[in-house]
Amino acid sequence: MALFGNAHAVDPAAAQQEYARILAQGEQVHAAYQLIRDMILFTDRRMILIDKQGVTGRKTEYHSIPYRSISHFAVETSGHMDLDSELKIWLSGSSVPIEKTFTKGVDIYEVQAILAHFSMR
């Protein structure tokens, strides 16, 4: 599952408030990234992919991925010519990774640290 466009960081508190309706009681957003119209939320319990669909974006798919479902992941840092970083996440039972691209301003090491912290629980 690859999404087009590059993700940039969003204030976790703002994402917590905007997406409160889809969060479990007590669930906390630790990091959030905007990808054109879509969002990626990293909470203390799961990763949530928010996919706005259609021309108006009124139809939305919320894809919840418990960290225990992640079998492994990889990050690719930006280089001199390629300013974007990449994240690949493999889910148990799937050979095709979920791929996300992050802009220069996103600390891919922070993304990796969040995944490492929560998927190693």
Encode pLDDT of 3-38 as tens digits: 445 678 899 999 999 999 999 999 999 999 987 778
What is the model's pLDDT at position 4?
45
Spatial CB neighbours of 1, under 8 Å, sequence gap ≥ 6: 96, 98, 99
What is the model's pLDDT at position 74?
93
Contact 43, 31 (CB under 8 A): no
pLDDT higher than threshold 90 for residue 109: no
Sign, Cα dihedral of 100, 104, 106, 108:
positive
- Give kind and range of the element (H or E) at residue 14: helix 12-18
DSSP structural state of residue 24: P
Sheet with 98-102: strands ordered across: 59-66, 46-53, 38-43, 29-35, 7-10, 98-102, 85-91, 70-76
What is the model's pLDDT at position 88?
93
Least reliable range by pLDDT among 43-47, 60-64, 80-84, 88-92: 80-84
* CA separation, residue 32 to residues 55, 92, 96 (Å): 23, 23, 23
Least reliable range by pLDDT among 13-17, 81-85, 113-117: 81-85
CA distance 98 to 48: 12
